[in-house]
Amino acid sequence: MRDLTRRSLLGFGFGSLILAACGSRSATSAPRDALIPTTHIDDEDELPPVPMACTAAVTARNIEGPFYKRGAPHRSVLADPDDPGERLRLTGVLQTTRCEPIGGATIDVWQANAAGDYDNDGFRFRGALTTDAKGRYDLRTIVPGRYLNGERYRPAHIHIKVRARGFAVLTTQLYFAGDPYNDGDPFIDDTLIMKHAVEGELRRARFDFVLPA
């Protein structure tokens, strides 16, 4: 049942490639108190194991947006201790549609800070993780702030690029279940919405990326 529980946390599915831009940058952020836990993650503190079974659904692509920068430092901890924001630990595995783990791949992450701003001068809240031999990754960061896209806030999201030898680059975004701005967002794909849970002062989320074998 544990595997069923874990798989229930996954956000798999085919999605269409959306070519629109991400939206303009704004320093105006929205409150994050509407983020609510939906599923309690029963994982231990260690990295999640590779699931015993997997789905054939390839992770959906999502817009890159205008704030990607090459050259992010290799690191899995994006938040300094004095950075404002709710702490987030995001873990998961990278695998193929044949359930094969993909180790040695790069997961390039970029996101807004708690105020909804991207660091376009440096590499704050940007980092490149490397999956281990079992395809696992473990990201320590904060829940991103929202920012205005025109007259509407985009829901909190984390930008991702997955680079693995022999596979096309996957560019996507991860979203948070319970964000009131998910509904009606022009870019969101429901299969990219993460289940998450609050454990004390830490928000935990799980997402497994699947590339076509």
Place of tokens 């085919």: 14
Q: Which is nearer to Fe ion, 154 or 195 (CB)?
A: 154
| Residue among 65 and 135 whose Cβ is closer to Fe ion | 65
48 versus 65: smaller Cβ distance to Fe ion: 65
Decide whether 6 or 154 has the Cβ nearer to Fe ion. Answer: 154
Q: Which of residues 133-172 bind Fe ion (CB under 5 A)?
A: none
65 binds Fe ion (CB under 5 A): yes
Least distance (Å) from Fe ion to the CB of residue 143?
A: 13
What is the size of the binding site for Fe ion (CB under 5 A)?
2
Side chain identity, residue 1: M
Q: Which DSSP string corresponds to 9-27?
A: T------PPP-S------S
Determine the interface stretch with Fe ion among 5-13, 18-26, 129-137, 192-200 (rule: CB under 5 A): 18-26
CB 207 within 8 A of CB 50: no
Select from 15-23, 35-43, 119-127, 130-138 the region that touches Fe ion (CB under 5 A). Answer: 15-23
Q: Whose Cβ is closer to Fe ion: residue 103's or residue 180's?
A: 180
53, 209 Cβ separation under 8 angstroms = no
> How far, CA to CA in Å, does 202 sit from each of 40, 173, 198?
12, 21, 6
Give the CA distances from residue 136 to residues 53, 113, 151, 207, in Å, rounded to whole numbers and listed in that order.
15, 25, 38, 10
> Which x/- pattern over 111-140 shows residues binding Fe ion (rule: CB under 5 A)?
------------------------------
The position carrying tokens 């692509």 is 61
Residue ranges that bind Fe ion, judged by CB under 5 A? 22, 65
